[in-house]
Amino acid sequence: MFLHKVMGLVLRFIEVIRGDDGKAMKQSFRTRLSVHYVSFALFGKRVGEYKSLLFCAALLFLCVGFLFTNHNRRILLDPASIKADSGYAYATSVIIPWVYRFLTPSAKSDTNEVPAYSSMTLYEDGTRVGPPHQSHDTIRNIGGGRYSHWQNHVTFSASDNSDPRTNGREYAIAFPIPKRVWVAILGLWAFFIIMWLRIPVFRIANPVPYYRVTREIAHLIYQYRQLTWAMTRREITDRYAGQAMGVLWAIGHPLILLLVYAFFFVVVFKVRFERGYELPRDFVTYLLAGAIPWMAIQDSMSKGCTAITGQTNLVKQVVFPVEVLPVKGVIASLITQVISTALLFGYQLLRYGELPWTWAFWPVFIAVQSILMIGLSFLFSAIGVYFRDLKDFVQVFCTVGFYMMPIFYTLEQFPERYHWLLYINPFTYVIICSQDLCYYGRIEHPWAWGLFLVSSLVALGVGYRFFRRLKPFFGSAL
């Protein structure tokens, strides 16, 4: 039953993206799920879309699994095949497997024209040595782990210039698969999804619908601005009604959590940044610049999951604008973010006596982030009506997401072979853009700004369309 509901939601999501209409839209969502399930079990109806989903998922797992299996796989060097050259140099012949020659053109050796062409890395007891691409004379005279890949031979030296045949250490080589291969494989998977699910790419890429959706939502918020603001205040005050500190807890909760993170990472774990052009400010500033927007996003997503189900009496009223319900939670989360950002603003003034010029672009950043949050809130509020477990999935994702984004570490500190985990996460670009403004003081990652804007507009367009299509069935589902 769980798989049935998940597959039904995924198929409905695809229909919304494709813009499918039909008589089935007149039925309630739960009835449609039951019809799909029974017809699939008895008559094989819609088997094509189910098979398409399973095929695309299987293709993704195969591609990623293949890359994981072969990425940076090490080829052991047989000590018996290692021959002494002269000085500290030793040589051995290697046969490069076809998979590396196919996926990694740089598995070929260095040449006179391109002396640093090979991507081969040498490991000594699992530790990478080097530097690579050294001349044979340098390896013979200096050694110290230097090596080169020339034609079908590897000329190298031990890290301590000992004899690799008798020092008891294990030597291995590897050919890391470049990022362009990862991009090509994932692009191929996306192509199969588009072809099998008949997704209209050109219609999705058309900016006009996103502009219309943005204008329509802005008009709704302006039209019901008094109602939206009243419900936002109620969202904040009712949560802490009857408590001594009242609405101050809306600031106290995230502030205390940020202080705890800063204490443990700075005082206990003694995380320090060597200040310079690459890292111009301290770790506390870096931590707050990334954590503040993420805490606002996860708060709005959690509220969005129950925005409709928590207001059943209002949703069933015919004249009530239900679009206000997801938006009010976003505004409440943004108010907390603005106050927390003001504290970061004050900290930088006290710590450094000045602010980076990029703070002037913070209103632009918060506007784009608001678009992303509103789109996700519309999407999650519509799904949450039919899939009540969504809020628990979101909570788990938010907890894990804190550590799977560059908040406690820089992009360079994260293992390079797992960078794809950061890049496939659209929230990573939110954190990077915030750090550009509040920490680096320059647009350090211009590519992230483009992806941030595109992902925000897509989230708003898809989320609002999904919400608008399912809105007529909210009353029967609740």
Confidence at residue 125, expressed as pLDDT on a 0 to 100 scale: 87
Other residues' Cβ atoms within 10 Å of the Cβ of residue 182: 19
Bigger pLDDT: 90 vs 107: 90
pLDDT in tens, 135-148: 888 999 999 999 99
pLDDT for residue 238 is more than 50: yes
Taken as a whole, the chain contains a residue count of: 478
The pLDDT assigned to 429 comes to: 92
d(CA 299, CA 76): 49
Q: What is the average pLDDT across 26-54?
A: 43
Answer whether residue 39 shows pLDDT above 50. Answer: no
> Poorest-confidence range of 54-68, 358-372, 420-434?
54-68
pLDDT on residue 10: 58
pLDDT at res. 370: 93
pLDDT at 453 over 70: yes
Instruction: For 148-157, write each residue's pLDDT tens digit.
Output: 988 788 899 9
In the predicted structure, residue 461 carries a pLDDT above the cut 60: yes
Structure letter (DSSP) for residue 78: P
Task: Place 34 in a pLDDT band, splitting at 50, 70 and 90.
Answer: very low
Confidence check: pLDDT of 50 > 60: no
Q: State whether the Cα torsion 192-451-445-287 is positive or negative.
A: negative
Domains of the chain by residue range: 2-70, 74-176, 206-477
Q: What is the pLDDT of residue 99?
A: 59
CA distances from 96 to 58, 132, 200, 467 (A): 29, 18, 42, 53
Tens-digit pLDDT profile for residues 343-358: 888 888 888 888 888 9
Tokens of 185: 């494989």
User: What mean pLDDT comes out for the span 384-408?
Assistant: 87
* Residue-averaged pLDDT of the chain: 77
N- to C-terminal Cα separation, the chain: 19
Positive or negative, the CA dihedral 204, 210, 212, 216 is positive
The span from the CA of 50 to the CA of 174, in Å, is 40
Distance CA 463, CA 378 (A): 5
How large a percentage of the chain has pLDDT more than 90?
Answer: 14
Radius of gyration of the chain, Cα coordinates, nearest whole angstrom: 28
pLDDT band at 133 (very low <50, low <70, confident <90, very high): confident
State residue 16's pLDDT score.
52
Separation CA 348–CA 355 (nearest Å) = 7
Q: Do 75 and 115 touch, CB atoms closer than 8 A? A: no
Write phi, then psi, for 455 (nearest 5 degrees). -65, -35
In tens, the pLDDT along 299-354 reads 999 988 888 888 888 777 767 888 888 999 899 889 889 988 988 888 888 888 88
Mean pLDDT throughout 259-276? 75
| Res 196 pLDDT > 70 | no
Q: Is 121 left (phi over 0), alpha (psi -120 to 50) or beta?
A: beta
Question: Which residues does 231 contact at the CB level (< 8 Å), separation at least 6?
Answer: 324, 325, 328
Residue 117's Cβ-count burial label (10 Å; 0-12, 13-18, 19+) is: middle
Element (H, E) at 180: helix 179-197
pLDDT at 215: 86
Q: Are 359 and 263 in contact (CB under 8 A)?
A: no
Q: State whether residue 478 is helix, strand or coil.
A: coil
Nearest CA-CA partner of 332 in 360, 296, 308, 365 = 296
- Note the pLDDT of residue 194: 63
Whether 377 shows a pLDDT value over 90: the answer reads: yes
